[in-house]
Chains A and B, each alone.
Chain A
């Protein structure tokens, strides 16, 4: 194999692994938009909160971030429910600019509070998985990324199952698919929205736990992740769960390809271009429904 082909395959495979985690938190972002028409600009900050929470658990107990998933997941679920009831509830269904501004304000507050607690330094954990690599011929993959990908796929599978099989899941899907019709049959209740938003934040927390294994965190991390959730969701189709997962994988692959063949510092630039192209020409994304716009 020529070195270009090796680099190409390596970039595609790494992109897939990282993309699983992007997909995981993008689903949370998409869920909030699909069900409540809330553009949660603070979503990246919530992922970062999950990363810091897992880091704290690691500091206090020495537990691997993967073991912190349940407690961090519950923590973020509570944070999400609180955030929804206190702040976002009054903006449901409108996707207004006021709502966007409030979300931006929340992201600023979370970011600064975390910076005050943990300082501006970059912090990581010594996970058993993070520093080991699976080597296969000319290719190498971090066990941390592989584990993160597996967790992401499991979570997405479980979420999909819950959405398909349970009563709450069906109600949430009904509201996401067609808010007006769901409201007519009495499905658009405060409880459904609270659950959906809490799930959205829980996914951010789980994504934070798996990200911290191989991605050290600093107070700027949330701002770096938020555009990815936004872009993945727009590419996949605003409000589409499967689309957001697919969008996350596409984002990561584009980043890896840019990084490999152009420059790591510019890995986000094509993503912004993609976002503009999709917003302007394909506002419903790859898998979105026309009603999602």
Chain B
């Protein structure tokens, strides 16, 4: 297989100072110092956790959608299975979220396998529509089977106080470091993926499915592994999310709003880039904080959704590649 034929358009900037290494390391160092600057109980830490959960979901989606070109609108499914799975196993069986989260990810991967088998024959918009259908269907089911999911009201995780084994804490500090580790790990993974053989195959499938197949890329299997990796990452983030918020409901898990929020970081920051979801997620949290503040002052609700919609509209129409993205991109 010729790697040159399939390598993506964005090459490494080969200036003497390696900004692609310095910038991420500096950002990580600043983030590690944050709790010592703002204080370990600061509400800013809570916002940072929210931001990093946003970013991690964006990074997970970016693997199959940005790098692999399969624009799933159904990632709420994996997020929800991870979050609900962790919460249900803890509440009903007392199983530690450390194991529950992994089991949630496994369940999510199984769902991804089924979803991929059902939908990967479809391309582009049809694939996206099929994934919407699956997500909305699960939302209905989650609202109906109250005994398992708590129905519309959602599910609250039984709070037992500060506990490492239950992964619960009153302070946001442990979640700050956990989500930071997750975001850094996903970032490193994405960068490695972009330079790996599998990553090249994903990008080849994204850029031209026929050409990829003709050059010997196993298209279906590549999409499937991409989705499985992405689903596992999304579910683990879902598990961390439910430990931090201690609650999950059908809308937050499977709703279309959630599916769109998962996409926004990469779309804003740059589809298929390692840094894109990080920058996009950071922008989103700023927007979300500002609009929440405005909503509180003006008593007008939904400003955040309005802002997300407007940003999505502007980005897709005028900056289709995102801030870090390559400027020209097809479907």
Residues on A facing B (Cβ under 8 Å):
39, 87, 90, 94-102, 104-109, 111-113, 115-116, 120, 223, 227, 230-231, 234, 263, 265-266, 268-269, 272-273, 275-276, 279-280, 283
- Is B37 positioned at the interface, with any CB of A under 8 Å from its CB? no
Q: A101-B316, A108-B305, A223-B256 are in contact. Are A279 and B122 (CB under 8 A)?
A: yes
Which residue of chain A lies nearest to B69 when distances are taken between CB atoms in the complex? Answer: A97
Nearest residue (CB) in A for B311 is A105
B310 at the interface (CB under 8 A from A): yes
Listed stretches B22-30, B43-51, B129-137, B218-226; interface member: B129-137
Q: Shortest CB–CB separation between residue A112 and chain B, in angstroms? A: 4
Q: Is the CB of B331 within 8 A of A96?
A: yes
Q: Beyond the given A96-B125, A97-B128, A109-B310, please list 15 additional residue pairs across the A-B interface where CB-CB is below 8 A.
A: A100-B129, A101-B316, A105-B309, A107-B309, A108-B260, A108-B312, A112-B303, A223-B256, A231-B133, A265-B140, A266-B144, A279-B129, A280-B122, A280-B130, A283-B122
Whether B133 pairs with A276 at a CB distance below 8 angstroms is yes
How far is B239's CA from A255's CA once the two chains are assembled, in angstroms? Answer: 34
Interface size class of B (residues with CB under 8 A): 35 or more
Instruction: For chain B, residues 53 to 84, give those with C-beta under 8 angstroms from any C-beta of chain A.
Output: 71
* Contact B301–A115 (Cβ < 8 Å): yes
Query: In the complex the two chains form, is A98's CB within 8 Å of B310's CB?
Result: no
Which residues of chain B have C-beta atoms less than 8 A from A101's C-beta? Answer: 71, 263, 267, 312, 316
Nearest-neighbour CB distance to chain B for A145, whole angstroms, equals 23
> Contact at B306–A112, with CB atoms within 8 Å?
yes
21 A–B contacts from the bound complex (CB under 8 Å): A39-B125, A95-B124, A96-B124, A96-B331, A98-B331, A101-B312, A102-B317, A104-B312, A105-B310, A105-B313, A105-B316, A109-B306, A112-B306, A116-B300, A227-B132, A227-B133, A272-B137, A273-B137, A280-B118, A280-B122, A280-B130
Among residues 289 to 331 in chain B, which have CB atoms less than 8 Å away from a CB atom of chain A?
Answer: 300-303, 305-306, 308-310, 312-313, 316-317, 320, 330-331
Grouping DSSP codes into helix (H, G, I), strand (E, B) and loop, the A interface class, with mixed when no group exceeds half, is helix
* Shortest distance between the CB of B327 and any CB in chain A (Å): 13
A-B pairs with the 3 shortest C-beta distances?
A108-B309, A272-B137, A105-B312
Which residues of chain A are within 8 angstroms of B129 by Cβ–Cβ distance? 39, 100, 230, 234, 275, 279
* A113-B306, A276-B134, A280-B122 known; A268 vs B312 contact (CB < 8 Å): no
User: What residues of chain A lie closer than 8 Å to B300, measured between beta carbons?
Assistant: 116
In the complex the two chains form, is B302's CB within 8 Å of A115's CB? yes
Residue of A nearest to B317 (CB): A102
Q: Which residues of B95-136 have CB atoms within 8 Å of chain A's CB atoms?
A: 118-119, 121-122, 124-126, 128-130, 132-134, 136
Q: How far is the CB of A247 from the nearest CB of chain B, in Å?
A: 14
Q: Min CB distance, A218 to chain B, in Å?
A: 13
Q: Which of B140, B301, B306 contacts A266 (CB 8 A)?
A: B140
Q: Is B158 an interface residue (CB 8 A)?
A: no
Residue of B nearest to A267 (CB): B140
How far does the alpha carbon of A109 sit from the alpha carbon of B60 in the complex, in Å?
A: 26
CA distance in complex: A207, B228 (Å) = 41
Contact with B125, one of A97, A108, A280 (Cβ below 8 angstroms):
A97
Q: Which of A87, A102, A106, A116 contacts B302 (CB 8 A)?
A: A116
- Cβ contact within 8 Å between A279 and B137: no
Closest Cβ of chain A to B249, distance in Å, is 14
Q: B125 to A227, Cβ gap below 8 A?
A: no
Q: Assuming A265-B143, A272-B134, A273-B137, is B309 touching A106 (CB within 8 A)?
A: yes
Choose one: A97, A265, A272, A273; the contact of B331 (CB below 8 Å).
A97
Cα A107 to Cα B309 with chains together (Å): 8
Q: Is B211 an interface residue (CB 8 A)?
A: no
